[in-house]
Amino acid sequence: MDLLAALRAHRLLAIVRGNDPDAALKTVLTLAEEGVTLIEVSLTGHGALDVIAQARAALGPGATLGAGTVLSADDAHAAHRAGAAFLVTPALGEGVATGRDLGLPVLAGVMTPTDILQAQRMGAQALKLFPAGSAGGPGYLRDLRAPFPDLPFVPVGGVDAPAAAAYLAAGAVAVGVGSPLVADAAAGGGLAALRERAREFLDVVREEPAP
């Protein structure tokens, strides 16, 4: 898949992490029903690989379903076998290079300009600015875009709806959103509230003009 094109087109990456595999699967499927096209299932969640495999079977081969928190080569191989179409890493480790070798696009975790240059050398298709809130928020993204104006940044970490709008206005290609969107749904919480939050975030990303 062309991860960068998907990020530019949809602008919202949902991050699902939960300790209840059945609830996590329902969360993924509910998000997809609401029109959230890009969904990442974090490997730190209980039974995450099974969730990816079941979601892949339910959503079909064309779904833009990925695996997150990919740290090692083993993580990358396992995610690939489960049906992940892309990988997301919190940092620049073996998962990035292995994903590239497997033919999977990688959203690689970066924080500093040095990280950014290394991620480019490793073949990352897009750059996960993480943890974005701790790094200084939209202002830090603007600072990074001065020397790197054409690179695709995806802020992740503490991104609620107002922050999503601010990051997109600052030039982010997309935003990655975990608990402000998913909340307790992946642990068995209400799906009706999840649908409302999904619609709120979709409204935000649709309103902000593309950089």
4-52 pLDDT, tens per residue?
Answer: 999 999 999 999 999 999 999 999 999 999 999 999 999 999 999 999 9
40 is catalytic: yes
Secondary structure of residue 140 in the 3-state scheme: helix
Single out the catalytic residue among 94, 128, 196, 208: 128
The range of the structural domain enclosing residue 185 comes to: 3-207
Single out the catalytic residue among 33, 40, 94, 196: 40
The number of domains in the chain is: 1
Closest CA to 35 of 185, 181, 167: 181
128 is catalytic: yes
What average pLDDT does the structure give for the chain?
96
Cα distance between residue 122 and residue 116, in whole Å:
10
- Write the CATH number for 198: 3.20.20.70
Q: Give this prediction's pTM.
A: 0.96
Angle at 177 between CA 64 and CA 208, to 5 degrees: 90
Structure token pair of residue 131? 């943890």
Residue range 141-197, pLDDT digits in tens = 999 999 999 999 999 999 999 999 999 999 999 999 999 999 999 999 999 999 999
